[in-house]
Each structure stands twice: as structure tokens, then as C-alpha cells.
Amino acid sequence: MIEITNLHKAYGELEVLKGIDVRIEAGEVVSVIGPSGSGKSTLLRCINQLEEATSGRIVVNGHDLCARGTNINLVRAEIGMVFQSFNLFPHLTVLENVTLGPRKVRRMPVKAANDVARRVLEKVGLSGKIDAYPSQLSGGQQQRVAIARSLALSPKAILFDEPTSALDPELVGEVLSVMRDLANEGMTMVVVTHEMSFARDVADRVIFMDGGHIVEDGPPKEVFKAPKSPRLKDFLRHVVQH
């Protein structure tokens, strides 16, 4: 589903990703953890080309992202992205936020797009907020709309970039529960997160990154209970303390 080979990413002198190799199978839920600055978000953003890789190969769903002739817009429509800061379109209602992709990218007629939007909004528990504007919603509700916006394009995978980091603590639960439902339905998910409970309980696999490398990669039980590298041990000690 997602296959990354020897991925490097540098901003001028600063090398953020120093050779990443990873395969993510369809239906897998992968949590990416690690200290800030370790390259987790950059890795995620390379998968849908919001950042262009400096070198390496990324194949998503059989599309080689670095090859000429790949229509990146169609690939992006197949991989949803949920941002830390929601990034809903503030000038559009909830319904319009969710239908924009289906209408303009998939060229769906308005009525069909509205039907899709109603279905995905019901899924995230926001049927009642269809005509609200993002500014009228809580952070948790906004993030659930953002998830619905991704779902409306029937993506093959969804990337989550610290989806709960900008939320008040009491609103984290509602977003995680939507994500848990998606995981149970078999959605392929790559989740950069600081929520260790989500990584432990929901993910099939946990990737620990540090300094631009993947340091450990395995089932949550192994990664959390039996960390091999000193860096992961150190990281987990710090995280558990907080």
C-alpha cells in the first residue's frame, strides 16, 4: 500500500530524514512516535508530497510519487490527511468543507456529494452541525469534521499528523474514538501521535523515530514492553512521566 525506500529529506544543510525504509500494508494501523524534531511529521508529509523528497522512492497504491507523469492530485485524493491544526476552510460551512473534494476533485454532482457528506458526518457524530461554520465548533468537533472531509473522498489510507495535540484534554477522547472506529473498520492509518494509549491499544504496529532514522519498528507490545534501544527506553521514560 505504501512503500518507502531510502527516503532522504533535507532543508538546505539540515537533514531531517536520513534514509527511511518502511512498508505499510493495507489495513494496517501504524503509530509513529518519537521526540519532536525526529522527522515524524516530515515523513508523513512526504507520503502525500506536501514535502518533496530530496531522494528516495515512495510508492503509494502502485503510483510512484517521484516518477514523471504521476498525477499527484489523484494520488492525494486517495490518501486523506488530518492536520494538527485542523485546517478547515473557515469561509465554508461544515457541509461545504466536506463536499469540496468530492465536487471539485471527483466531479460529483452536488446532490450526490451532499449524500456522501451526510453519511461521513453521521459517522463522526456531527449530523447536527451540517450548516455550522468551523468557528462555531469546538476543537474536537472541528477535528472530526476534518476527518469527515478526508473520508468523503473514500481514501485508501489516512495520514494523521498529531491530530489531538492542539485539543483541550477533555476533547481528545471524542477524536480518538472516531479514529478507533476507523481502525476497527480496516482503514489503513498512519498516525503521528503523542497519545501513547492510542499507540498501545489501537495500533497494529509502532514506529519509533529519532534523529531522522527509524530506530524501532514492531508490534506495540514489543516496542512498549521490551524496548531494545537506549533512546527508546529514554523516550518512554520521559513520556510516561508526563
Tell the smallest beta-carbon distance from residue 154 to another protein (Å).
Answer: 12
**Nearest CA among 241, 18, 50, 65 for reference residue 161:** 50
Tell the smallest beta-carbon distance from residue 46 to another protein (Å).
Answer: 13
Q: Which amino acid is at 71?
A: N
* 3-class SS of residue 121: helix
Tell the smallest beta-carbon distance from residue 35 to another protein (Å).
Answer: 23
57 pairs with which residues across the strands? 5
The answer to whether residues 97 and 79 touch, using CB atoms and an 8 Å cutoff, is no
With binding defined as CB under 8 A, does residue 81 bind another protein? yes
- Interface with another protein by CB under 8 A: which range of 68-76, 119-127, 128-136, 229-237? 68-76
Instruction: Draw the binding track, 155-194, toward another protein (x: CB under 8 A; -: no contact).
Output: ----------------------------------------
Q: Which amino acid is at 139?
A: G
Query: In this complex, which beta carbon is closest to another protein, that of residue 103 or of residue 205?
Result: 103
As a residue count, the chain comes to 242
Q: What is the CA radius of gyration of the chain?
A: 18
With binding defined as CB under 8 A, does residue 60 bind another protein? no
With binding defined as CB under 8 A, does residue 76 bind another protein? yes
The answer to whether residues 157 and 79 touch, using CB atoms and an 8 Å cutoff, is yes
CA distance 65 to 61: 10
CA distance 25 to 190: 11
Tell the smallest beta-carbon distance from residue 143 to another protein (Å).
Answer: 12
Query: In this complex, which beta carbon is closest to another protein, that of residue 78 or of residue 204?
Result: 78
With binding defined as CB under 8 A, does residue 224 bind another protein? no
With binding defined as CB under 8 A, does residue 150 bind another protein? yes
Q: Of residues 32, 77, 117, 178, which one binds another protein by CB under 8 A?
A: 77
Helix 169-184 vs helix 139-151: angle between axes, to the nearest 10 degrees? 20
The DSSP bridge pattern shows strands 157-161 and 79-82 to be parallel
- Interface with another protein by CB under 8 A: which range of 52-60, 71-79, 133-141, 189-197? 71-79
CA distance 189 to 17: 21
Tell the smallest beta-carbon distance from residue 206 to another protein (Å).
Answer: 24
Residues that bind another protein (CB under 8 A): 48, 50, 73-74, 76-77, 79-81, 83, 85, 87-91, 100-101, 104-105, 146, 149-150, 153
